[in-house]
Amino acid sequence: MHPILFDFGSIKVYSYGFCIMLGALFGYFYALKHAKTIGLTSVHISEMTLLIIIASYIGGKVFLWFSDWSYYMQNPAKMIELNGNGVVFYGSFIFCITGLFAFFNFRKVKAAPIFDVLAVCTAIVHGFGKIGCFLAGCCHGKVCSAAMGVVYHNPLSQAQPLDNPLYPVPLIDATIIFSAALFLIWYGKRKQFAGELMLWYIFIYSTARFFTEFLRGDDDRGFIGPLSQSQWVSIGLLILAVIIYWVMRKNVASPTHHK
């Protein structure tokens, strides 16, 4: 496809980075629009954005290292190449959630309502990121029939093998993620408790990711037994989200009565 969107000689604009930046802008303005409804100021949103950028980068790179630690131990510079490997979403997500909990505790604000807004923001950024993956050729699918696949010809693309139809896994993921974003926006007025939207995003994405991983063709992403690392993380996050949902739903259904 088009791993490099614009080439001005010494200055190159990479499709993945551009899409992430575009998604981050949309996510930022969505959060800014809903800031007052969740008790935050524009300063809080800016601080959160900076925290998310830092946590996403560090977490994504840490999980990238785990995906092929022996290679990155021998080639540490590859971890931070701007035109090379990107980040692992689950690493970014887990580090962001952990960092945000610490931030909310420091700022003395309620976390649950904010995570409802951030669920939509996450889906927006993530969806644009998947479009960037598609253009760059990363997270590509296995070889498939011509009717079901897309063909990469650009030698700079990360997709392998070139000139063969591959499952468009990033586009499948992007479709699911953007659909999830629309669902979360619709369901936001119908939610039963604060924080439910983030749990729904985890339900939808972790389930979808578990199955789309079977279509992936980048076998160097790391495996533990028969499943990829991301599939194991999907299972863990789904179980954790179900437990949290059950507890919070139970608390709403059975409020404490005072005599």
Residue-wise pLDDT tens digits, 114-146: 999 999 999 999 999 999 999 999 899 999 999
pLDDT of residue 255: 58
Q: So where are the chain's domains?
A: 4-253
Which phi and psi angles does 149 have, rounded to 5°?
-115, 175
The answer to whether the beta carbons of residues 78 and 84 sit under 8 Å apart is yes
pLDDT of residue 244: 96
The answer to whether the beta carbons of residues 28 and 125 sit under 8 Å apart is no
pLDDT of residue 131: 96
Residue-wise pLDDT tens digits, 14-30: 898 899 999 999 999 99
User: First-to-last CA distance in the chain?
Assistant: 67
Residue 235 pLDDT grade (very low, low, confident, very high; cuts 50, 70, 90): very high
The average pLDDT across 94-102 equals: 96
Q: CA 195 → CA 19, 112, 113, 116, 122, distances in Å?
A: 27, 4, 6, 5, 14
